[in-house]
């Protein structure tokens, strides 16, 4: 692993986070493509942010994720007519979000939203699904129930089971 990516990974794994001047926590509203994302700040205002290329192969974000954004040049960018107002400096992971929710740096607007769904719902749903399966029946060896594949057409059956049973009885 190259030095830049290694340092980026090491910085992402830090549990403690202190916000610098001009940095704030924002929630991803939508992905616009071409390294642009739409974010929602603590004042309930939406703006466009640049997701730098250095994060491209290292970190992924989705709607509802939380990021640390540098908005020090926001006023100047808006005055110049640029639509991109801020730059993402750090992606927050589930453990970091949980720690920040308990601190005073976490914005009030995000406390009312269900941030758990945004960052860890798949992990929690998988655990809950496994617990439900185990409580329902233990004879499946912990496997989830099979679902029908609706993408394929069912082949027509040429003969039914009752016909095949009657033919085998007459042959013997």
- The torsion angles phi and psi of 48, rounded to 5 degrees, stand at -90, 140
Q: Is 152 inside a domain boundary?
A: no
94-123 pLDDT, tens digit per residue, is 888 888 888 888 888 887 654 444 444 434
Query: What was the pLDDT predicted at 167?
Result: 57
Q: Is 92 inside a domain boundary?
A: yes
Whether 130 shows a pLDDT value over 60: the answer reads no
Q: Is 10 inside a domain boundary?
A: no
Mean pLDDT of 141-149: 74
User: Measured between alpha carbons, how far is residue 101 from residues 39, 66, 83, 107 in Å?
Assistant: 18, 11, 30, 8
Q: Is 155 inside a domain boundary?
A: no
3-state DSSP helix/strand/coil percent for the chain, to nearest 5?
40, 20, 40
- The CATH number that applies at residue 93 is 2.40.50.140
Say if residues 35 and 51 touch (Cβ distance below 8 Å).
Answer: yes
Q: Is 14 inside a domain boundary?
A: no
How many domains, the chain? 1
Q: Is 83 inside a domain boundary?
A: yes
pTM over 0.75: no
Q: Is 167 inside a domain boundary?
A: no
Query: What was the pLDDT predicted at 65?
Result: 93
**Which residue range(s) make up the domain with 114?**
20-119
Share above pLDDT 90 across residues of the chain, in percent, rounded to a whole number: 21
Res. 11 pLDDT band, cuts 50 70 90: confident
């Amino acid at each position: 692993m190259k030095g830049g990516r290694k340092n980026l990974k090491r910085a992402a794994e830090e549990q403690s986070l202190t916000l610098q001047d001009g940095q704030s926590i924002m929630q991803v509203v939508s992905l616009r493509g071409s390294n642009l994302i739409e974010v929602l700040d603590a004042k309930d205002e939406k703006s466009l942010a640049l997701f730098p290329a250095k994060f491209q192969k290292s970190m992924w974000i989705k709607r509802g994720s939380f990021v640390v954004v540098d908005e020090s040049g926001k006023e100047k960018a808006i005055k110049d007519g640029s639509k991109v107002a801020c730059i993402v400096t750090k992606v927050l992971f589930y453990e970091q979000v949980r720690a920040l929710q308990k601190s005073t740096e976490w914005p009030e607007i995000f406390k009312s939203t269900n941030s758990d769904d945004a960052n860890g719902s798949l992990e929690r749903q998988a655990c809950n699904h496994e617990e439900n399966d185990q409580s329902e029946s233990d004879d499946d060896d912990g496997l989830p129930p099979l679902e029908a594949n609706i993408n394929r057409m069912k082949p027509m059956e040429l003969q039914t089971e009752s016909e095949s049973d009657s033919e085998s009885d007459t042959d013997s």
